[in-house]
Structures are given as structure tokens and as C-alpha cells.
Amino acid sequence: MKKNDKKTILSASTSSGDLTIGNYIGAINNWTALQDQYNCYYMVADLHALTTPQEPKALRERGLSFYAQYLACGLDPEKNTLFMQSHVPEHAELAWILNCFCPMGALNRMTQFKEKTAKSEKNLNAGLFTYPVLMAADILLYQADVVPVGEDQKQHLELARDLVDIFHHRFGETFSTPDPYIGKMGARIMSLQDPTSKMSKSDENPKSFLSIIDPPKTLEKKIKSAVTDLGTEVSFDQSEKPGISNLMTIYSVLSGKTYQQIETDFEGKMYGHLKIELAALVIETLKPVQDKYHDLMKNKDYLDGLLRDHSEKARATAKQTLIKVYDKVGLYPRPL
Ligand code: AQP
């Protein structure tokens, strides 16, 4: 099934808000580094976005915008399969089959579901509950060997591995068992307004995140209004100074400087100085990305063409897995 002897990797971002500098540093920027070593499948997870309330027009526009941002961040369409989840119907189809073999108890244990429902009682939908099964389908369809996962997705990857075991026990070898990606992944970026929680693209307060496509003035304003800590000294201490440490993390990743170098550079200066320099650095880093993004968005035909070609490429692999699965579980084959 594999095109070559490279391992297969799959990753995605849910199109449920604006892609943030957290997604850039923690994920997309690292995906570009993997494109030569792996068979890479990078997906805009628009079906996953439906697990939280979405305005249809905004969701539709965001799908294309995310796709253009992936390309603008450097994901090469010659080296990666870049596609929209909803354009490959096999995701929903495999998710249904896996749902029928997934113990309820396993889903009841998912901490992300518990956390999300604790935040919003009014959004208790079945999609949110079975979200990890769709994620398992995403991974297993492409026979992914490795999946880059943040701390909050580890439990979901474990479930995907359990589903492989359950399925194999019943029907024999069918899927690759996905391992977590062990390698250098980006730092975890925290909210600018509450540096003890992760920067999240669907945060209701837009001041809490830096969007990859925020105009320079907005980026500057958001950084200047970031919550900082007691004291004035620029020093890295995540428990005592979570706000300034978060800004230092972004600065460190984008400049390549160590925390110690940053502390030395800002000795005797105030938090405000770091904010000014960080704003300039973020704006400078994102400028080529934003320029490319705006060019791409003017060329919808090009983006639609890529989406079509890459969905077909993704489907060619996904279909092979699904045919195997349908056969194993005993569904009558589709007439050719
Ligand atoms: N703040 C972050 N710091 C580092 N990495 C991050 N990622 C997301 N936020 C940060 C990484 O980006 C990838 C895609 O994640 P996602 O957008 O599909 O899901 P998420 O982790 O649930 O991100 P959000 O922004 O918190 O989503 P919403 O607000 O929609 O629930 C993952 O590799 C993730 O680790």
C-alpha cells in the first residue's frame, strides 16, 4: 500500500477559528520540516469543526483560507497530499464502521470531551462525543505510521490504537498501528490573556490569540495588551511569570535565541521593551506568509484545482483501506 519505503504521517488542524501563531509554531512550521522524510498527509479538518457551533458561511470561507495558509506557510503541494477532510467521504464512512466497534466506556473516559462539555453544557452533541472515532478514521484510512500529537490529543491517539487492536482481533490485520511522532515539535503557546491556558483559535476573546493572518497593526496591539506578571524583569519562569515566559517562548522560537540570551538582551529593560521587539519579530516573520496568502486567495481557481487533485490523491489511498474494511466486516461489495 505504501508508495515507497518512507513512513506515512498524518496531521490536521480543525477549521474552527483563525489559525494562530500557536498552530504555526506548534504544528504547521514543523510539518514543513517533515515533508522530505515522510509521505505526508495534511488535512483541513472541517468535519471536526462541526462538533462546535459554526456559522455556515464563515466555516466555508475558513476552509479555503486554512488551505491557502497551509500553502503560504510552506507546505509544498509537490511533496505533500494537502486536502479537505469533507472532500474525502471515506472519513465519515470509516468513522461509522469504527463507531460500531468502539466501546462506549472508552469514549466516556475521554478527558477532552469532559472538559469541553464542562465549559458548555448547551453543546452536548453526539459528534463531540464520537470526535475521537472520526480522528481514528482520519489516521487509519491512510495507514499512518506516525501522528504528531500534542498533550491533549494523546488519549485520542491511544483510542485509535485500541480500535486497531479491537478490529484486528475480530477480523485480522487491516491497519497500520499509529505511533505518536517522537521528534522535535514546536513549543506550546499560551493565551495572551490567560497564560495558564493554551492559545486556542476558537477562544471567544480575539485578544487572546495572534492569528497568522492578523494585519500587522492588530498583531502589535494584541501583543502590547498581553497580560504580564508582577515585577519588571524579563526572566523565564513559567510558574512565577507565565505571561512573560509565554512571550519569551514565542520570541525564542522565532528568533532562534535561547531564554538566557533573551534575558541578557533585555537586562535592565522593562516588559514593554520585549513586547515592542516581539511585535516587530512576529510581523516580520509573518510578512512573507501573509503576502503569499493574499496572492493565493486572489487565485481561487488554482486553489480549487489543487483541492480537487489532492482530494483525488487522498481518496485513492483511503478507498483501498475502506474497501478492505467493508469486505472484512461483511458488507456486500459495490458493483463496479
Ligand atoms: N497554542 C498552541 N501551541 C502549540 N501548538 C498548538 N496547536 C494548537 N494550538 C497550539 C497544535 O496545532 C495542531 C492543530 O490543532 P487543532 O487546531 O486541530 O486543535 P487544537 O489543538 O484543539 O487547537 P485549538 O486552537 O485549541 O482548537 P479549538 O480552539 O478549535 O478547540 C495540533 O498539533 C496542536 O497541538
State the cell numbers at 296.
493565493
Task: Report CA torsion sign: 189, 195, 199, 205.
Answer: negative
Quote the pTM value.
Answer: 0.94
pLDDT at 302: 98
How far is the centre of ligand 1, averaged over its atoms, from the C-alpha of 229 (Å)? 25
- Picking from 223, 202, 208, the residue whose alpha carbon sits closest to that of residue 274 is 223
pLDDT at 4: 66
Place of cell 481557481: 301
pLDDT at 1: 46
Give the tens place of pLDDT for each residue, 101-153: 999 999 999 998 888 787 776 778 999 999 999 999 999 999 999 999 877 88
HSE of 31, CA atoms in CB hemisphere, 13 A: 32
Question: Is there an atom of ligand 1 within 6 Å of 116 CB?
Answer: no
Pocket test for ligand 1, best of 200, 210, 212, 246 (most atoms within 8 A of CB): 200
Rounded CA separation 143/313 (Å): 14
- Picking from 171, 163, 167, the residue whose alpha carbon sits closest to that of residue 139 is 163
Rounded CA separation 157/147 (Å): 8
Question: Is there an atom of ligand 1 within 6 Å of 14 CB?
Answer: yes
Domains of the chain, start order: 3-182+300-329 (3.40.50.620), 206-295 (1.10.240.10)
324 assigned to active site? no
Options 2, 7, 79, 116, the catalytic residue:
116
The percentage of the chain sitting over the pLDDT mark of 70, rounded to a whole number, equals 97
Q: Can you name the residues that pair with 146 across neighbouring β-strands? A: 9, 179
- Picking from 184, 15, 3, the residue whose alpha carbon sits closest to that of residue 79 is 3
Give the tens place of pLDDT for each residue, 57-108: 999 999 999 999 999 999 999 999 999 999 999 999 999 999 999 999 999 9
Give the tens place of pLDDT for each residue, 167-178: 999 999 999 999
Rounded CA separation 116/100 (Å): 24
- Residue nearest atom 35 in ligand 1 by C-alpha distance: 150
6 assigned to active site? no
Q: CB neighbours (10 Å) of residue 23? A: 25
State the cell numbers at 61.
470561507
pLDDT at 336: 76
Range with lowest mean pLDDT among 1-5, 73-77, 201-205:
1-5
CB 64 within 8 A of CB 15: no
Q: CB neighbours (10 Å) of residue 42? A: 23
How far is the centre of ligand 1, averaged over its atoms, from the C-alpha of 225 (Å)? 22
Options 79, 114, 198, 313, the catalytic residue:
198
Instruction: Judge whether residue 54 has pLDDT over 50.
Output: yes
Range with lowest mean pLDDT among 181-190, 239-248, 279-288:
181-190
Question: Is there an atom of ligand 1 within 6 Å of 200 CB?
Answer: yes
Question: Is there an atom of ligand 1 within 6 Å of 7 CB?
Answer: no
> What count of residues does the chain have?
336
HSE of 193, CA atoms in CB hemisphere, 13 A: 11
SS3 assignment, position 7? coil
**Of all atoms in ligand 1, which is nearest to the CA of residue 150?**
35
